[in-house]
Structure 1
Amino acid sequence: MDTGKLIFEALNLLGLIHEKTQSPEEKELLLTAADALSFINTTGQQYQFEDYRKDLKTEGPQMVVAAFATREEAETWLEKHSNPPHTASVLIGDDYHTVYYWRETNLRRIPASPALEFYLEELMRDGLPPPVATFNTREEARAWFYNLPERPSQAVIQLGGEPYLAAYHRNIDHLAFHPFSLVDKLKAWREKQQQEQDPEEPGPQS
Structure 2
Amino acid sequence: MDIGKSIFEAINLLGLIHEKTQSPEEKELLLIAAEALRFINTTGQQYEFEDYREDLGTEGPPMVIAGFATREDAENWLKNHPKPPHMAFVLIADEYHTVYYWREHNLRRMPSTPTVEYHLEEMMKAGLPPPVATFDTREEAKAWFYKLPQKPSQAVIQLGGEPYLAAYHRNIDHLAFHPFSLVDRLKESKPQP
When normalised by structure 2's length, the TM-score is: 0.98
Shift of 1:150: 1.2
Q: Distance in 2 between matches of 1:115 and 1:82?
A: 26
Aligned to 1:202: none
Is the partner of 1:104 in helix, strand or coil? helix
Query: Superposition pairs for residues 32-181 of structure 1, below 5 Å?
Result: 32-181=32-181
- Which amino acid is 1:26 matched to? E
Shift of 1:149: 1.3
Shift of 1:115: 0.8
CA deviations on 1:154-174 (whole Å, 9 max, x unpaired) are 100000000000000000000
- Which amino acid is 2:181 matched to? S
- Which amino acid is 1:145 matched to? F
Bigger relative CO (Cα 8 Å, ≥ 6 apart): 2
Q: Distance in 1 between matches of 2:145 and 2:43?
A: 34
Aligned length: 193
Query: Superposition pairs for residues 3-42 of structure 1, below 5 Å?
Result: 3-42=3-42
Shift of 1:188: 1.1
Shift of 1:189: 1.2
Unaligned runs of 5+ in 2: none
Q: Distance in 2 between matches of 1:25 and 1:180?
A: 44
Shift of 1:175: 0.3
- Which amino acid is 1:185 matched to? R
When normalised by structure 1's length, the TM-score is: 0.92
Percent sequence identity over aligned pairs: 77
Aligned Cα root-mean-square deviation (Å): 0.8
Shift of 1:110: 0.2
Q: Distance in 2 between matches of 1:142 and 1:182?
A: 20
Q: Distance in 1 between matches of 2:3 and 2:105?
A: 36
What stretches of structure 1 move > 2 A for 4+ residues in a row? none
Higher Cα radius of gyration: 1
- Which amino acid is 2:176 matched to? A
- Which amino acid is 1:166 matched to? A
